[in-house]
């Protein structure tokens, strides 16, 4: 801190502000001297709450023209930089304490030297004097600290992507235009896990073991200086958590929805058994037997008669050896499959769904901020084996249930990427393949890790899903590719990472199932 005094350009004196107040007895009035009033010295500091505090030592301000001290002397007002008003307090005969809130300084003053002006008034025996003294004061260190100190602007209660209670903490725009960064978040005096979700927004988890009861709690954030090991902490921000009220009554039933579209035609049913032989008709009456005539001469051979009508088709024969059917499922959902009566076992191929790619993010590394592209999600696992079919009591036919996993969601602002869903086929026994994991969203380096592939299942033929690629400053990570089975699958791919800056990740592909019988 530097105090400049002496040159007209560096300090302004205001002697024209002297005001004489007439006393009831004119003889009691005294003239007022224009003595050398000035600021002898000053010191500046930043208190723990982030406010600026200046202590100034004054000379020849609270004295009359004879050098006698005037007790009825007080500071009227003070300004910094000609625009920021200061709160004034006398803390001694010749010392005044000046204070300015962090927010006013943050908004109106640049780092550097600014003019300090103090107006003081005293009264004695009907006379009064107002003096304005000024000097330039170097506040580079103090304003630099104030502008780096984080400022909480608003807090709202929310949930993180997994449903845990959390708070979104919005910080004021940084004085130098950079995105904010934090080293620590404290809630009710305890450090909380947190992540950055936007340029000036951070999401912190509320304590859950034990959970905070309803009431008011203080939230503070801290960050380390760019140029030193100093740690700057925000003013406490009060967070109110309401008590949970009783469960409300159920709401009225909603209106009946429209009739859904007609579903696709089901597969053709198995041919029914052949009908039984009808009853035998009654025998006609026997006519009278005629007399036997003499045997005639053999006649000539007649012409060949016309071909008779085609008889009815016989019943379907049993299926021959080898495969007789195949069916694939590539859309997320659950399906029930009915097989012909003579099918007892089915060969199954199952691919798990791919994990979602993560969003591009800003990473704080070595005291600098870098934009890193998102990472790719892992591909789903692969399983190939044979299952035994169970008989449905309602139809008397063999059936199996097929479930196709849904692809993981891509990461975006306020939403983390998710893993791919599990695909499975079940009847008398169950075969499944798990989905790939989502691309990494948090890192302490300049690379977001790719999502791991789905773990290898318990099958005769099995493969662990391939990992997704990591995201870097230069490139977004590709999703992991699924393994080929009897054919190249149409599902199971991991989603791609979002492109920096700020791009969202893509969703993973759904799972895939093929049945052979």
**Is residue 388 one of the residues assigned to a domain?**
yes
Q: How far apart are CA 265 and CA 332, in angstroms?
A: 19
Q: Give the pLDDT mean for 352-378.
A: 91
Asked whether the beta carbons of 375 and 439 are under 8 A apart, the reply is yes
Does residue 118 belong to any structural domain of this protein?
yes
Q: Which of 129, 145, 161 is the last residue of a domain?
A: 145
**Inside any domain, residue 270:** no
Decide if 135 is inside a domain: yes
- Answer yes or no: is pLDDT of 33 > 70: no
The CA distance from 52 to 104, in Å, is 10
Quick one: pLDDT at residue 25? 32
Answer yes or no: are the C-beta atoms of 126 and 167 closer than 8 Å: no
Judgement on whether residues 340 and 426 belong to the same structural domain of the protein: yes
| Pair 203, 80 in one domain | no
Which token pair is 184? 């620590």
Does 223 share its domain with 363? no
How many Å apart are CA 254 and CA 26, to the nearest integer? 90
Nearest CA among 179, 161, 129, 135 for reference residue 418: 161
Assess if residue 267 is contained within a domain. no
d(CA 96, CA 113): 20
Pick the last residue of a domain from 217, 239, 261. Answer: 239
**Residues 365 and 512 reside in one and the same domain:** yes
Place of tokens 């036919």: 397
How many folded domains does the chain comprise? 3
Q: Are residues 132 and 182 in the same domain?
A: no
User: Which neighbouring-strand residues pair with 238?
Assistant: 218
Q: 1 in helix, strand or coil?
A: coil
For the segment 430-452, the average pLDDT, to the nearest whole number, is 90
Angle at 240 between CA 238 and CA 242, to 5 degrees: 175
The CATH number covering residue 183 comes to 2.60.40.10
Closest CA to 116 of 48, 58, 33, 47: 58
Boundary residue ending a domain (145, 173, 200): 145
Q: Across 303-312, 366-375, 498-507, which has the greatest mean pLDDT?
A: 498-507
Contacts of 198 (CB under 8 A, 6+ apart): 413, 414
Question: Rounded mean pLDDT of the chain?
Answer: 82
Query: Based on the domain organization, do 212 and 335 belong to the same domain?
Result: no
The neighbour count for residue 437, using CB atoms within 10 Å, is 29
Which positions ≥6 away from 420 have C-beta within 8 Å?
352, 353, 354, 355, 356, 377, 378, 380, 405, 406, 407, 408, 434, 435, 436, 437, 454, 492, 494, 508, 511
For residue 111, pLDDT over 50 is answered with yes
Q: What is the pLDDT of residues 290-337, one digit of tens each?
A: 788 788 888 898 888 888 788 788 676 555 556 789 999 999 999 999
Model pLDDT, residue 241: 81
User: Which residue segment(s) compose the domain that 364 sits in?
Assistant: 324-517
Tell me, yes or no, whether 499 and 463 share the same domain: yes
CA distance 322 to 191: 66
CATH number for the domain spanning 49: value is 2.60.40
Question: Is the domain of 140 the same as that of 161?
Answer: no
CA dihedral over 442, 190, 198, 159, signed as positive or negative:
positive
Per-residue model confidence (pLDDT) at position 392: 95
**Are 111 and 214 in a shared domain?**
no
Q: Are residues 508 and 392 in the same domain?
A: yes
* Structural domain contains residue 309: no
What share of the chain in percent tops pLDDT 70?
85
506 in a domain, yes or no?
yes
* Upstream peptide bond of 501 is cis (omega within 30 degrees of 0): yes
Q: Which residues contact 213 (CB under 8 A, 6 or more apart)?
A: 241, 243
In a domain, residue 382? The reply is yes
Q: Are residues 120 and 230 in the same domain?
A: no
Instruction: Check whether residue 111 and residue 165 sit in a common domain.
Output: no
DSSP 321-361: SS---EEEE-SSEEEEEE--TT--EEEEEEEPPPPPPPPPE
């Amino acid at each position: 801190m530097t105090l400049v005094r002496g040159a007209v350009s560096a300090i302004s004196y205001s002697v024209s502000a002297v005001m004489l107040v007439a006393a009831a007895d004119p003889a009691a009035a005294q003239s007022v001297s224009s003595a050398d009033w000035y600021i002898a010295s000053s010191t500046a500091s930043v208190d723990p709450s982030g406010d600026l505090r200046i202590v100034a030592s004054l000379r020849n301000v609270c004295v009359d023209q004879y050098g006698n001290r005037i007790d009825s002397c007080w500071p009227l007002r003070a300004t910094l930089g000609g625009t920021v008003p200061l709160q004034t307090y006398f803390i001694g005969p010749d010392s005044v304490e000046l204070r300015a809130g962090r927010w006013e300084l943050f908004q109106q003053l640049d780092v550097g030297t600014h003019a300090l002006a103090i107006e003081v008034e005293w009264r004695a025996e009907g006379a009064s004097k107002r003096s304005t003294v000024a000097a330039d004061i170097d506040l580079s260190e103090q304003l630099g600290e104030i502008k780096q100190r984080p400022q909480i602007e608003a807090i709202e209660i929310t949930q993180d992507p997994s449903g845990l209670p959390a708070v979104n903490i919005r910080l004021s725009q940084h004085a130098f235009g950079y995105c904010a960064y934090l080293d620590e978040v404290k809630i009710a005096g305890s450090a909380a896990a947190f992540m950055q979700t936007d340029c000036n927004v951070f999401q912190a988890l509320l304590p859950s073991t034990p959970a905070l009861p309803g009431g008011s709690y203080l939230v503070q954030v801290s960050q380390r200086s760019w140029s030193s090991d100093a740690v700057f902490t925000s003013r406490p921000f009060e967070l109110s958590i309401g008590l949970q009220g009783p469960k409300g009554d159920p709401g009225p039933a909603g209106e009946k929805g429209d009739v859904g579209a007609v579903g696709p035609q089901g597969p053709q049913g198995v041919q029914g058994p052949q009908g039984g032989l009808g009853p035998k008709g009654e025998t006609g009456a026997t006519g009278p037997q005629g007399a036997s005539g003499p045997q005639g001469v053999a006649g000539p051979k007649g012409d060949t008669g016309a071909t008779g009508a085609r008889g009815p088709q016989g019943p379907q024969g049993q299926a021959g050896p080898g495969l007789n059917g195949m069916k694939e499922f590539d859309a997320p959902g659950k399906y029930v499959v009915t097989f012909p009566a003579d099918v007892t076992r089915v060969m199954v191929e199952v691919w798990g769904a791919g994990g979602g790619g993560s969003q591009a993010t800003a990473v704080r590394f070595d005291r600098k901020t870098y934009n890193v592209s998102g990472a790719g999600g892992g591909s789903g696992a692969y399983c190939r084996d044979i299952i035994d079919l169970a008989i449905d009591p309602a139809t008397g036919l063999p059936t199996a249930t097929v479930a196709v996993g849904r692809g993981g969601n891509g990461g975006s602002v306020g939403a983390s990427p998710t893993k791919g869903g599990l695909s499975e086929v079940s009847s008398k026994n169950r075969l499944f393949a798990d989905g790939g994991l989502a691309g990494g969203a948090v890192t302490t380096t300049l690379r977001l890790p790719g999502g791991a592939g789905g773990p290898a299942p318990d099958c005769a033929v099995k493969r662990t899903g391939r990992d997704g690629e990591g995201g870097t400053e230069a490139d977004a990570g590709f999703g992991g590719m699924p393994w080929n089975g009897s054919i190249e699958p149409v599902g199971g791919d991991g989603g791609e990472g979002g492109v920096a800056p700020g791009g969202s990740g893509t969703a993973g592909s759904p799972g895939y199932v093929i049945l052979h019988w």
